Amino acid sequence: MISAGEFRNGVTFELDGKVMQVIEFQHVKPGKGAAFVRTKMKNVITGGVTETSFNPTEKFENAYVDRKNMEYSYSDGDLYYFMDQESYELVPIDKSILTDSFRFVKENMVCTVSSYKGNVFSVEAPNFVELEITDTDPGFAGNTATNASKPATVETGAEIKVPLFLDIGDCIKIDTRTGEYLERAKG
């Protein structure tokens, strides 16, 4: 159990059957009346953010969110299989749980799988990935000064905008959070 007076940033707890994480908190002691804890919290599963005030003595059940690095193995229809790197057990995860950033993940990449009481609620792709361009218009030498871009398809099938000088077979670094081209990679 944890009391509202013990809240710190990042603490997870159960509130009305939902798993909440403290984003910001402030202990308030007004000149008149009882002290309270003003809390900004995020629903870990839905991502919704709310602000609430609690009595500092109010108690909540601790919520332990399990975050584990797992290797993406393969997909079969709407199920995506991830391998636990310790037990080598394959865990099936439904496509509906995957975010848009997963389109940049290829087989054997390590992702962070978050679960609560054994139920997986999110899969985080690595922040940066290096992928090869499999389809784009031919590159033009000398077009490095302008900010012009062209569409390119990478080896996972995702399409992004890249500078004009890149060509098929070039390896690029992508920020999976924004889906943007960062730089040419060494691979």
Query: What is the spatial distance between Cα 148 and Cα 151, in angstroms, rounded to a whole number?
Result: 11
**Residue 148 has what pLDDT?**
79
C-alpha to C-alpha distances, 74 to 81, 92, 108, 134, nearest whole angstrom: 5, 10, 8, 20
Q: Of the candidates 175, 45, 50, which has an alpha carbon nearest to the alpha carbon of residue 116? A: 45
Residue 18 half-sphere exposure, CB side, CA atoms within 13 Å?
A: 15
| Mean pLDDT computed over 111-140 | 86
pLDDT on residue 5: 87
Domains defined for the chain, CATH in brackets: 2-60 (2.30.30.30), 65-124 (2.40.50.140), 128-184 (2.40.50.140)
Average pLDDT, the chain: 87
pLDDT digits (tens, 9 = 90+) for 1-33: 888 888 888 888 998 888 888 889 998 888 888
Give, in order, the Cα–Cα distances in Å from 77 to each of 92, 113, 153: 11, 20, 22
Q: What per-residue confidence (pLDDT) applies to 44?
A: 82
Structure tokens at 134: 């499999």
The pLDDT of residue 114 is above 80: yes
* Interval 47-106: pLDDT, tens: 789 999 999 899 999 888 888 999 999 988 889 999 998 899 998 988 888 888 889 999
- Which residue, 135, 4, 119, 121, is CA-closest to 58? 4
pLDDT of residue 146: 64
Q: Count of CB atoms within 10 A of residue 76's CB?
A: 9
